[in-house]
Chain A
Amino acid sequence: MGWFDRYRRGTFDRGIHPPANKHFSTGSDIEIVPCPERVVLPLQQNVGGPCTPVVKPRQKVTWGELIGRGEAFVSSALHAPVTGTVERSVMTTLANGRHMPAIAIRTDDPGLQRQDLWDAVFGGPWPKDCIGIYEPQQIHEAILDAGIVGLGGAAFPTHVKINPNPQKPIHTLVVNGCECEPYLTSDEQLMRQAPDAIIAGAFLASYAVGAQRVIIGVEDNKPEAAESLRQSVGRTGIEVRLLRTKYPQGSEKHLIKAVVGREVPLGGLPADVGVAIGNVGTMAAVARAVVRSRPLTHRVICVTGAGVAQPKNLLVPIGISIGELIDYCGGLTADAARIVAGGPMMGFAVADRTTPVTKGTSGITILTHEDTATAAAGPCVRCGRCVEVCPMGLVPTKLAQAARTGDLRLARRYNILACFECGACAYSCPARIPLVQWIRAGKAQVARSQGR
């Protein structure tokens, strides 16, 4: 029965099976990090436009107060995650290397601590079947006001996605509980510990977009998380579906393929196949915004890997520095080599430990020299392994070749812009060619030539 059941579970075509390495922090209870002395909030934490500060230096702010307003349609509001005093404006560097202005707040009052903070953010009762209490427009506005962005890593503003559009009716809301990146466990632990908030948020979001169906996709290496959600479903009619574990199943398009069986057209959006999609953490944030009128100021994050002394899952305020989190987890081990914001497949290596946690930071993975050891790149022997694993059905080695030689026509013929840099090709390449890096450079060249 076992293997056959597993085989029948949905998934997408191609992809890879990297070692999951979730054991460092899986199943460990979310700890509430003490309020930091200072937080740094970059003015752009999302895909789209930056927000405009609405506070001045030396101004006092309280937890949850609006400090930055999103001006563009695709942008998001920013709120104070602590009670304190705004410092003079600072510059900071995001994990992806972007340099950007930020609002720094020095904490005056630690505010809610430990269990009280948990209860305010995820704990306590959540109404799961509340049609008629909140109107779709009301839910949409609450999401907009709360500054919610996709918490799975992409940080796309949620109010843009959870927005009923009569031209493109939505029939299904897919909730992303895959967490397909190796090492990361923050979503898994959230599903285990706060299923009620996730279910409540998913129900509200589905009501707001007018979806008749809600399916939560969970990879089958997290049976406890799926069971926890199932226990919490109640009368909402939400389906929790196990998927065959494979990377990159947490990619929006591939999860939709795995769950609904349809392919989002190239260059299109999930709405083109009648689907809205959001991460489990995002759904919990939606419930918090609608039911408790609390903005997005905290998130769950894991600090994990063989390079950190005590891997943990943590509830942290946005804006706390990566270095503080590492210190909270007992510091680095002797053989730590690389600090990665995000998971090891798509995350960014950071050199500066003052880099703040942003809304989209799903974890900090600390790899050892052993983990990152690799040989020098050799010539491509055209084995076709990259073609076999590319979830987008591209020919990565040709894309890299086109980028290297600056042949933009070749790059376009092979659809370079469809690549979303999941890293499956570079992971599998026997010649250790940095395919993703070449393709990134090629995409930039193509984008530049099209802008001209």
Chain B
Amino acid sequence: MTMKASGMEKTDLKNASVDPTLTEVAPSPHLVEGGRTTRRMMIDVLVALAPLVGAAIYFFRWSAVRQMAICLAACLTVEALCALMRRRRPPLADGSAAVTAIILALSLPATAPWYAGVIGSMVAIGIGKALFGGLGMNLFNPAMVGRAFVMISFAGALGAAGYQDAGSAIDIMTQATPLTAFQQSGVVTGLADLLIGRTNGSLGETSALACLAGGLFLCLRRSAAWRIPASMLAIAALFAILQTGFTAQGWTPAHHLCGGALLFGAFFIATDPVSSPLTPQGQMIYGAGIGALVMIIRIFSGYPEGVMFAVLLMNGLTPLINRWTIPPPFGEQ
């Protein structure tokens, strides 16, 4: 944007005195907010994911490490290849591919075969993002596009039943996920286990406390729009209360909030800025829509959990929401 003033020497002004050694010209504003860059936002997400990564490694051991390593390697490779195909410099330093990789890995079960991570990453970055034109252009959350593809393609290995591995050396992996256990056999997992994460599930979703800690960090850093998790959790809680009432026994609203991928989804998946609405009002509608869809899928469908489908559906509505919620300008409110 800057132009060295030396180019001005050709001016027809007789009295112009331009010092070629000094002064650039550029349009206003001449200052930018320090320390706030796209890269910084992505790094914030990675930092916020740290407690989830820690919990995943603690509970799922090597299978978590392996899954994240596979996804990271695959996502970064595909991102680089796609950039090279477009004859651009691979934008790996912006951190967005790494964020997609970690979120995808954390949304897969510990039992997932290696090719699920590889194919999921290829679809996430290649189809979910690069095909649309790269960072900022995609309509759908790339990690969820990749996950949806492998979930449907390898339903046997990754479906609700696939989470369970009776022969696993890790104890929690031999159990059903809390939502499946409740839906199919009415078994209620203890709230303490849900909070800490001592349950089976996708790698990153099990510990409610880790999700909350990372999510609050993200919102306080303003690297995620707080309105999305706030409205999503509020609506989910409302649906949960409508379903179960104010009960303290059995499957309570707190179980709905802390179980499954609701918190992970609210803070890390739904808040992907690219695929969520721009305006504050739009973000509220979007979050509320995801919250409602998640609960409808949980309560009325055959799937135990619905965060992925809810996010993808609302991603599709994002352009419309943006259009519906053009804010009235100052002086027309």
Contacts and interface: CB of A to CB of B under 8 A. Distances in A.
Interface residues of A, number: 76
Contact of B25 (A338, A344, A354): A338
Nearest to B31: A344
Interface in B15-57: 15-19, 22-33, 36-38, 40-41
A436 B24 contact: no
A93 B16 contact: yes
B333 to A, nearest CB: 7
Interface string B295-333: 000000000000000000000000000100011111111
B279 A378 contact: no
Contact of B36 (A349, A350, A367, A430): A430
A400 B2 CA distance: 19
Contacts of A344: 28-31
A345 B30 contact: yes
Contacts of B5: 351
A429 B32 CA distance: 8
Contact of B17 (A266, A353, A414): A353
Interface string A224-264: 00000000000000000000000000000110010000011
Interface in A393-451: 393-395, 397-398, 413-415, 418, 421, 423, 426-432, 434, 436-437, 440
A352 interface: yes
B113 interface: no
A427 B330 contact: no
B29 A346 contact: yes
B107 interface: no
Interface stretch (A72-80, A154-162, A295-303, A382-390): A382-390
B169 interface: no
A267 B329 CA distance: 11
A374 interface: yes
A427 B22 CA distance: 24
B42 to A, nearest CB: 9
A98 B17 CA distance: 16
Given A18-B31, A349-B30, A383 B15 contact: no
A339 interface: yes
Given A18-B31, A268-B331, A344-B31, A352 B273 contact: no
Contact of A379 (B2, B22, B25, B135): B135
A133 interface: no
A319 B332 CA distance: 40
A295 B276 CA distance: 56
B33 A427 contact: yes
A372 interface: yes
B331 A372 contact: no
A348 B327 contact: no
Given A354-B15, A383-B273, A337 B28 contact: no
Interface string B224-236: 0100000000000
Nearest to A414: B326
B30 A351 contact: no
A146 B247 CA distance: 78
A274 interface: no
Contacts of A349: 23-28, 30
A266 B331 contact: yes
A380 interface: yes
B18 A387 contact: no
B31 A345 contact: yes
B8 interface: yes
B188 interface: no
A371 B31 contact: yes
A267 B32 CA distance: 29
B16 A426 contact: no
Interface in A153-185: 182
A346 B273 contact: no
B191 to A, nearest CB: 34
Interface string A360-384: 0000010100011011011111111
B38 A431 contact: yes
B134 interface: yes
Contact of A332 (B22, B24, B331): B22
Contacts of B30: 338, 340, 344-345, 347, 349, 365, 367, 371-372
Nearest to A91: B13
A253 B330 contact: yes
B330 A421 contact: no
B94 interface: yes
A430 B95 CA distance: 14
A132 interface: no
Nearest to B19: A353
B9 to A, nearest CB: 10
B280 interface: yes
Contacts of B283: 384
Contacts of A264: 331
B26 to A, nearest CB: 6
A336 interface: yes
A182 B278 contact: no
B37 A432 contact: yes
B155 interface: no
Q: Which of B137, B225, B330 has the most CB of A within 10 A?
A: B330
Given A352-B8, A436-B27, A380 B136 contact: yes
B284 interface: no
Contacts of A382: 136, 273-274, 276, 278
Given A93-B16, A379-B134, A395-B326, A428 B28 contact: no
B67 to A, nearest CB: 26
Contacts of B328: 393
Q: Which of B23, B136, B276, B328 has the most CB of A within 10 A?
A: B23
Given A381-B41, A383-B273, A384-B279, 6 more contacts: A337-B22, A344-B29, A345-B29, A352-B16, A352-B18, A418-B331
10 contacts: A92-B15, A268-B331, A340-B30, A349-B26, A379-B137, A418-B331, A427-B32, A431-B38, A436-B29, A440-B27
Interface of A: 13, 16, 18, 90-93, 182, 253-254, 257, 263-268, 323, 332, 336-340, 344-354, 365, 367, 371-372, 374-375, 377-385, 387-388, 391-395, 397-398, 413-415, 418, 421, 423, 426-432, 434, 436-437, 440
The 8 closest A-B pairs by CB, nearest first: A423-B29, A379-B136, A351-B5, A266-B331, A349-B25, A383-B273, A344-B30, A437-B27
